[in-house]
Amino acid sequence: MKPLHTSILILFLWGLNVLPVQADRMEKAPKSIEKLDVIEHLDTQLPLDLKFQDSSGKPVTLGDYFKKDRPVILSLNYSNCPMLCSLQLTALVRGLKELEWSADEQYDFVSVSIDPKETYQRANLTKQKYFKEYDRAGTAGGWHFLCGRQESIDKLADAMGVQYQYVAERQEYAHPAVLLVCTPDGRVSRYLYGINFPKQTLKLALVEASEGKIGSTVDRFLLFCFHYDADSGRYAPTARNIMKIGGFATVFILTVVLIPYWRGRKGRQALETGDALTHEIPQETRHFSAPEN
């Protein structure tokens, strides 16, 4: 389990518009969000039987989006969020647009509203907004915006380890900016925090979550060389694995390239030495005839 990053707490405040305008005015955070946290449940199985409603009004379960043998990006948002959800989802769309992979082909995106009063019509408007920003034809089937009852929302948030709170005086929800990248069978693979999702971070997270089912050999090689650094919010080189690769490369070069080269060189030197000695023997001593009786 992992405590919430300081940067995520800042985003809580930003989402509620309580950050001070002047740097020397640091106001105390509202009590309603002081205890909010993200507790990482890596490799935890999500409750796929939870019931929701999709943006067309159709009853669905969470498991309906984990039957396509591809990873799922999962998020808790709500359509009436004044700022944070829009910042997070816009940043995600921008990052995904840089990938050569497409929604509904290599991955799916599922956003579940934390507002039990949100209607499927409102969720559909939100879906259309971000699908339009994504601007990639034929991929609408990979974007899913769900709404549901409080019980299902709470059970999902608890399984995800994402805490949120309704702030009655502001009629808003305080919540973290965090995405979950999940395996095709519905387990939590990675948490991505903040409102910036670089191409490489998204790509490696999806490769990792897919367990090698998407991505090229090069992508899987890069994943071996990099690990996710939660403090920086991106994948960083891992010295141990890079050293392993360096050691393997050294052995490979010695075995496959240098040793045969050295052997060949020694063989050529031996032949050249033999030829040189042959040329140095006087002509009259090179040929022998049988002695006469």
Tens of pLDDT, residue by residue over 74-91, are 999 999 999 999 999 999
- Check pLDDT > 80 for residue 177: yes
pLDDT value, residue 257: 63
175 among annotated binding-site residues:
yes
> How confident is the model over 27-32, as a mean pLDDT?
46
Q: Which of 41-50, 58-67, 238-247, 261-270 has the lowest mean pLDDT?
A: 238-247
81 among annotated binding-site residues:
yes
Instruction: Return the HEC string of the chain.
Output: CCCCCHHHHHHHHHHCCCCCCCCCCCCCCCHHHHCCCECCCCCCECCCCCEEECCCCCEEEHHHHCCCCCCEEEEEECCCCCCHHHHHHHHHHHHHHCCCCCECCCEEEEEEECCCCCCHHHHHHHHHHHHHHHCCCCCHHHEEEEECCHHHHHHHHHHHCECCEEECCCCEEECCCEEEEECCCCEEEEEEECCCCCHHHHHHHHHHHHCCCCCCHHHHHHHHHEEEECCCCEEEECHHHHHHHHHHHHHHHHHHHHHHHHHHHHHHHHHHHHHHHHHHCCHHHCCCCCCCC
167 and 9 in contact (C-beta within 8 Å)? no
- Check pLDDT > 60 for residue 250: no
pLDDT > 70: percent of the chain: 60
For the stretch 153-165, pLDDT in tens is 999 999 999 999 9
- Check pLDDT > 60 for residue 233: no
pLDDT value, residue 67: 86
pLDDT value, residue 211: 80
Q: Which of 59-68, 147-156, 247-256 has the lowest mean pLDDT?
A: 247-256
What tokens were used for 227? Answer: 């690990």
287 among annotated binding-site residues:
no
For all residues of the chain together, what is the average pLDDT? 77
